[in-house]
Structure 1
Amino acid sequence: MTVSSSTNADIDAVAALLKHAERVLFITGAGISADSGLPTYRGIGGLYHERLTAEGLTIEEALSGEMMAQRPDISWRYIGEIESNCRGAKPSAAHLRIADLEAEKPGVWVLTQNVDGLHRMAGSEKVIQIHGTVHHLRCTECPHQRSVHDFAGLDLPPACPVCGGVLRPDIVLFGEMLPQKGLDQLTHVLESGVDLIVSIGTTSVFPYISGPVWWAQQNGIPSVEINPGDTEVSDIVDYRLRMGAADAMTQLWARMHELP
């Protein structure tokens, strides 16, 4: 039976699960970065919710693999705008507490939809960035790659210094396949065994994000959702905390270290 409130007893129950679990998979979405001041549009910025771009396109069309191939200037215009709105963001308390848990429990993993890199900035090392990261660029024509802190000073679209081709961020655009390496990592984590799954700040609309929660239910693994709103997995998790990510993780961290 799902517990859907956020009483002290509920928080204590989830804190106890975290305390005793050795292998935890955190699944995170845009909500965890909202506490860092980032707008929430599918993990890359909330700038185009229910409105079209200047070209009359949906943001899904502008940020598609097809558009990047045919009109990289259009894709880069909105990638650049989103990145500029996210620039300077720092990890939230939720990012930091998850990194602290990994330091205490080597079996802690993060599966994130976000491309902002804040989990790694917080100190997490076992991170599956299933949608990639805006901080890594690759050439569309040759093997050249480079890492960037931000897009300041870049001509958009940026040219490859090796072959003159167009660089693009190493993110999954709409209509593109997920990275096989990330999918293999997720499979390995689940097959190796998980004691607890915690979904934070994601609507879980993608099957590869909701899938591990369904897997947990079918295999008798406890699951927790931290999200103020209703999502695709709200009815199947064992514990549901209707809270923001930073507040929830701060309280859970404190309480799990108070428990005997």
Structure 2
Amino acid sequence: MKSPERSPAPDVEADGSGAVRIDELRVLHGQFVDFMLDYKFAIDEITTKFNILREDLHNSNEYNPIEHINSRLKSPESVLEKVQRKKYPMNLASIRENVLDIAGVRVVCSFISDIAAVRDMIAGQEDVTVLDERDYITHRKPNGYQSLHLIVSIPVFRVDRTVRVPVEIQIRTIAMDFWASLEHKIYYKYRGQVPPNLLAELTRAAEAANQLDEKMESLHRLVDHNGHRAPISERQGGLDFSALYENLLAED
């Protein structure tokens, strides 16, 4: 049975100088939804790449530096707010060019040395292009924040086209991730106006997290020293404390 044809949508008066058609608004909305799908699919592509690396390393009995992977897609409201705040042109081409953190993937590692390994694995893939790299580990932010940020471009294959989409990848350790999560919650609670004493405590916590990372890194190297490396089944994704304990007793 054929559906009845819809009558033309009425105009909606925007102001005294003109009108905005409802059907035009629907078209714009549809275009933006389709635009955001590019980024959703880009996240799917990147997370799949990391999951393949994890499984491949596990299958080949190699050490896996990836603890876990998170992702997030900016909301349309957040994207448009940033465009307005930065005074970028309000069109899709401008958003694609200027707002590079719509799609975000975070990779959490066990040890500091894992970060470079993960970076090289993903950046070395043929269809991944590194657009920007910011090392907030070597050059820590004043508030103590640490992470390696990559902006990469990857192809997303749609039904009717192929489009290269930017994705922000953050690579950090468990300690860095825990601190960043706490800092985000505190800034959200105080709406960016964090009391000075609390800021000082956050800075001290960042230093403590950094010291923990350095200590864990030295323990990690101790486990691997002189070939005393535990089987992959025992150490997959983390530090093997039983092997560490045996090494410490042997040195005593």
- TM-score by structure 2 length? 0.23
| Higher helix fraction (1 or 2) | 2
In proportion to residue count, which structure has more strand?
2
TM-score computed with the length of structure 1 as normaliser: 0.23
Greater C-alpha Rg: 2
